[in-house]
Amino acid sequence: MKKFWIVGHPLSFCLCTPVSNGAFKELAFDAEFETHDVAPDDLHLVMEKIRSGELAGAVTTMPHKTPALDLLDESSDEAKAINAVNLVLGHSPNGELPYKLKGYNTDWLGALGAVKSLIPDLKDKKILVLGAGGAARAAAYAFHKEGANVSIWNRTSERAKTFAEKMQITQIPDMRKWDGEPDIIINATSASYQPSQSTLVPFPLWKNVQLAMDAVYGKTSLFLEEANAAKVKHIISGDVWFLNQAAPLLEIITGNKAPLELMKKLTDEAVDIIKS
């Protein structure tokens, strides 16, 4: 059986574990995911397990998506552009050890698939992305590829500025002084995971918003509650983003078409458990 780890810190649960394991069983693919809380200083030990063949690969979550890049032999073009990976696999042309490590990023496909399921044409749409971590950069990259007019904001302005310059998108130092009138707002900050949340988006910016999506799953957030109060037509929670990135991730691992209906059912069941 091929063993895969899901690694993050702190990490006690990840949707990827039950959903991917259920999909493996459906596909008769002899593999299993385990969830592991791995401190940043120990990430290299996980990569060594992949090189040795003890693990077939790993899914990386916060805060490992960007640091993992420095431990790889190669990465996909998307991962290089986003500067983050969410999947690392070991491979060798002739099967000899140690394995080479290759990183992939499917987070951008998750953001794109979730939004396009409701707004298929994103060309020239004004999209505001909140955050500058791996998920935020993935979303910004995806929408920029679609021809959208992408702007990015982060509490630490310099982080957003560096990525904005690389991608040639707009960086917003202060949303209170910005009159961009976005059509879509994506929240990929860590704010929604905090017990005590504060307003991110000044209320006037909600005026023309057609869609709001939060990366958080299994709970509501102040961001989504404010989107609802602003009567935003389309509101998407993070489980939809997750599902749209988990399917291509599974296809990279197995080489088979992902069983989407089953994965959606398992995702819904897992989210219900989290909420309860």
Question: Of the given ranges (45-49, 89-93, 215-219), which has the lowest mean pLDDT?
Answer: 215-219
- Residue 138 pLDDT greater than 90, yes or no: yes
Residue limits of CATH 3.40.50.720 in the chain: 108-236
Q: How far apart are CA 148 and CA 146, in angstroms?
A: 6
Phi/psi for 236 (5° steps) reads: -120, 130
What CATH class does 108-236 carry? alpha beta
Tell me, what's the pLDDT at 88? 98
Token readout for 163 is 């990525």
- Annotation says 49 is catalytic: no
Which residue in the block uniquely carries the two structure tokens 């693919």?
Answer: 29
Q: pLDDT digit string (tens) for 160-184?
A: 999 999 999 999 999 999 999 999 9
Tell me, what's the pLDDT at 28? 98
Residues 6+ apart with CB under 8 A from 1: 30, 31, 32
Tell me, what's the pLDDT at 40? 97
Element (H, E) at 250: helix 238-254
Q: Which CATH superfamily is domain 2-105+240-275 in?
A: Leucine Dehydrogenase, chain A, domain 1 (3.40.50.10860)
How far is C-alpha 270 from the geometric centre of its chain's CA atoms?
18
Q: pLDDT digit string (tens) for 222-275?
A: 999 999 999 999 999 999 999 999 999 999 999 999 999 999 999 999 988 877
Residue 67: asked if its preceding bond is cis (omega within 30°), the reply is no
Among 2, 65, 161, 233, the active-site one is 65
Contact 97, 52 (CB under 8 A): yes
| pTM beyond cutoff 0.85 | yes
